[in-house]
Amino acid sequence: QKEVEQDPGPLSVPEGAIVSLNCTYSNSAFQYFMWYRQYSRKGPELLMYTYSSGNKEDGRFTAQVDKSSKYISLFIRDSQPSDSATYLCAMSAGGGNQFYFGTGTSLTVIP
């Protein structure tokens, strides 16, 4: 079983839609959760960083962590064509432990 599971998509939505991206994980020691956006042929860009459970909002983006279900989500409101990219979740137990990426979900927002 992989440490982190993420649906690779591809996901295609109309402009203005709410997008939900999800990852599940198996290691209950994970405490640090990140979402990265990666445009084609570019490096990953950090979008959201969350410690432990709860919600975090930044503009149109909301990150949710449910440690009891080992499930994290990224919501994108009012999606824009410029949101078209691959979204990678990443997580770690911290303290010098391994940093695990999901496989990435490819998102296309259609104008």
Partner 1 sequence: DTEVTQTPKHLVMGMTNKKSLKCEQHMGHRAMYWYKQKAKKPPELMFVYSYEKLSINESVPSRFSPECPNSSLLNLHLHALQPEDSALYLCASSSTSGALGDEQFFGPGTRLTVL
Residues that bind partner 1 (CB under 8 A): 8, 31-32, 34, 36, 41-46, 49, 88, 90, 92-99, 101-104, 106
Which phi-psi region, left, alpha or beta, contains residue 54 (left: φ > 0; alpha: ψ -120 to 50)?
left
- Closest CB to partner 1 among 17 and 93? 93
The distance of closest approach from Cβ of residue 71 to partner 1 in the complex, given in angstroms and rounded to an integer, is 18
- Closest CB to partner 1 among 10 and 16? 10
Quick check: helix, strand or coil at residue 42?
A: coil
- Closest CB to partner 1 among 19 and 89? 89
Collect all residues with Cβ–Cβ distance below 8 Å to 42 and sequence separation of at least 6.
Answer: none
The distance of closest approach from Cβ of residue 44 to partner 1 in the complex, given in angstroms and rounded to an integer, is 5
The distance of closest approach from Cβ of residue 92 to partner 1 in the complex, given in angstroms and rounded to an integer, is 4
The distance of closest approach from Cβ of residue 94 to partner 1 in the complex, given in angstroms and rounded to an integer, is 3
Q: Strand 85-92 and strand 105-110: pairing? A: antiparallel
Concatenated DSSP letters for 35-62?
A: EEEE-TTS--EEEEEEESSEEEEETTEE
User: Residue type for 48, please?
Assistant: M
